[in-house]
Amino acid sequence: MSDESQPQVDNEASDDLLSRRGFIKVVAAGVGACYAGAIGYPVYQYLASPVEQAAMAAAVNEVTLPQAASLPKNTALMFRFGSKPSILIHHDDDTWSAMSAVCTHLGCTAGYVPEKKVIFCPCHGGTYDARTGANISGPPPKPLAPYKVEITDGKVIVTRA
Ligand code: FES
């Protein structure tokens, strides 16, 4: 019997094939992990419970707004205090106020209306006092949560009241 009847296995080629397969598996696993992270993290953030979001918001006690000191009078700046949309208002008499912009009715984001000098929620027409955040009219049951405002070295520093 001769060796020519048996198929020849090239061990070197077989090892090379295995290492290519191993490399492709590692690359495929890495690409899969990247896709999982790219899709999973935004989904996780979207699904984060209100308790976790409240904890994130509670962790912040101060926000510095470096360019806000140059805000013209009778204008407002929207900013985030932790995860909460918030509003800073520079009044005509050069005083400042800041508060949460989360409407106390159903949680829409309210904004400053300079013509009327009030904070207005577009969802159901709730209005708030621009200096104190007190609920004036419409369905909001409570005032907006106020913050303290301090101007230091040309920066506006907003802290929890
Ligand atoms: S959510 Fe603001 S008035 Fe209803």
* Residue 51: its H or E element: helix 50-59
Q: Is 108 in the pocket of ligand 1 (CB under 6 A)?
A: yes
Q: Are residues 152 and 113 in the same domain?
A: yes
Summarize the confidence of residues 39-43 as an average pLDDT: 66
Tell me the percentage of the chain whose pLDDT exceeds 70.
75
Residue 1 located in a structural domain = no
Residue from 104, 121, 135 to probe ligand 1 pocket by mutation (most atoms less than 8 Å from CB): 121
19-23, 46-50, 153-157, range with greatest mean pLDDT:
153-157
Q: Are residues 127 and 85 in the same domain?
A: yes
Across the beta sheet with 62-65, the strand order is: 62-65, 155-160, 146-152, 96-100, 84-90, 75-81
- Determine the pLDDT at residue 130: 97
Residue 119 burial by CB count (10 A; 0-12/13-18/19+): exposed, middle or buried? buried
Q: Are residues 33 and 87 in the same domain?
A: no
- Name the residue at shortest CA distance from atom 4 of ligand 1: 124
Q: Residue 54: is its pLDDT beyond 80? A: no
Check which CATH number belongs to the domain holding 100 and give it: 2.102.10.10
Q: Are residues 87 and 153 in the same domain?
A: yes
Q: Are residues 26 and 81 in the same domain?
A: no
Summarize the confidence of residues 16-26 as an average pLDDT: 74
Residue 52 located in a structural domain = no
Query: 63 phi and psi, to 5 degrees?
Result: -130, 130
- How does pLDDT run across 125-138, given as a tens digit for each residue? 999 999 999 999 99
Q: Are residues 83 and 151 in the same domain?
A: yes
- Determine the pLDDT at residue 1: 44
Q: Are residues 88 and 37 in the same domain?
A: no
Summarize the confidence of residues 51-80 as an average pLDDT: 84
- Determine the pLDDT at residue 102: 97
User: How far is residue 26's CA from residue 12's CA, in Å, rounded to a whole number?
Assistant: 21
Q: Are residues 30 and 109 in the same domain?
A: no
Residue from 87, 100, 102, 103 to probe ligand 1 pocket by mutation (most atoms less than 8 Å from CB): 103
- Determine the pLDDT at residue 147: 97
Q: Are residues 90 and 149 in the same domain?
A: yes
Distance 76 CA to ligand 1 centre (A): 20
Q: Are residues 39 and 71 in the same domain?
A: no
Distance 8 CA to ligand 1 centre (A): 80
Q: Which atom of ligand 1 is nearest to the CA of 126?
A: 3
Distance 44 CA to ligand 1 centre (A): 27
Distance 102 CA to ligand 1 centre (A): 9
- Its domain, for residue 21, covers 10-47
Q: Are residues 26 and 105 in the same domain?
A: no
Q: Is 136 in the pocket of ligand 1 (CB under 6 A)?
A: no
- Determine the pLDDT at residue 2: 47
- Determine the pLDDT at residue 20: 74
| Model pTM score | 0.67
Residue 71 located in a structural domain = yes
- How does pLDDT run across 87-142, given as a tens digit for each residue? 999 999 999 999 999 999 999 999 999 999 999 999 999 999 999 999 999 999 99
- How does pLDDT run across 144-161, given as a tens digit for each residue? 999 999 999 889 999 998
Q: Which atom of ligand 1 is nearest to the CA of 108?
A: 1
